[in-house]
Amino acid sequence: MVHQVLYRALVSTRWLAESVRTGKLGPGLRVLDASWYSPGTRDARKEYLERHVPGASFFDIEECRDTASPYEMMLPSEASFADYVGRLGISNQTHVVVYDGDNLGTFYAPRVWWMFRVFGHRTVSVLNGGFRNWLKEGHPVTSESSHPEPAIFKATLDRSLLKTYEQMLENLESKRFQLVDSRSQGRYLGTEPEPDAVGLDSGHIRGSVNMPFMDFLTEDGFEKSPEELRALFQDKKVDLSQPLIATCRKGVTACHIALAAYLCGKPDVAVYDGSWSEWFRRAPPETRVSQGKGGKA
């Protein structure tokens, strides 16, 4: 494993509240609300407009993606990402703090944390405990939208943190990378359906290990300690000294695996961006494993 000084992947609600109180937000520190909810449940943008961390901008993951791709939530181009975050007042010198409003504490924020890292930005952190705990602890909120001065952001894709379909096929043969799937056990096994999915059966990529992302969080919505996270990986016989790819359905909760490994000192976990959404539609049937209907047992 490469030993390097790792930027802090988590900041506390207390630290952020103090930064807000002392006027630290600006070109050097930006806060993003990266909330997203399944259609017909909650309206992330509406909730942002009603209340958010003072000074936070709304990061719309539906806008900041490859809208031409047939697969869900695929990364945008370097130029599109640079333009999008530049308009949010983020430069290459900005410390970015990301949170979301999910009831779990954190759901989409690790995806945005990973997006910044895959585009070459290292000074990015997730708000530990999320907006859920920000509210619970009584920190200030506002309905005022932030209008930061646009900045110039240069994005450089770090291909070591990203895996494509072709690389995943190659890995089935070489088995160089361990493969970990972050979805719930039922969806991984193929015994529960994929939520809100049309034409997408559940199941997993042959050879992958299941580590549901919710296991990384405490009941109160905080990230578990590095010691607890290490034990989870050990229980699944995932060797953090060896190469690792994280996958899920659309490359979102896979980023929880990347974050958990990072907190254990492993910063080089790659995410398969297309994940099951792409694999199910493109891969040979014998590489798809499911205990559900029509699956390869």
Which residues are annotated as catalytic? 248
Q: How far is CA 20 from the centre of its chain?
A: 24
Q: Are 108 and 35 in contact (CB under 8 A)?
A: yes
Which residues are CB-contacts of 93 (< 8 A; sequence separation ≥ 6)? Answer: 27, 28, 123
In three-state secondary structure terms, 80 is: helix
Strands 288-289 and 204-205: antiparallel
- Single out the residue of 150, 71, 155, 165 nearest to residue 116, CA to CA: 155
User: Which position has the token pair 């070459």?
Assistant: 120
Could you write out the DSSP letters of every residue in 144-158? PPP-PPP--------
Q: Are 182 and 258 in contact (CB under 8 A)?
A: no
Determine the Cα–Cα distance for residues 267 and 264; give it in Å rounded to an integer: 8
Quickly list H helices, the chain. 13-21, 44-50, 78-87, 109-118, 130-136, 165-174, 185-189, 226-235, 254-263, 275-282
Q: Which two tokens stand for residue 111?
A: 């995806």
Q: Which two tokens stand for residue 256?
A: 């929880």
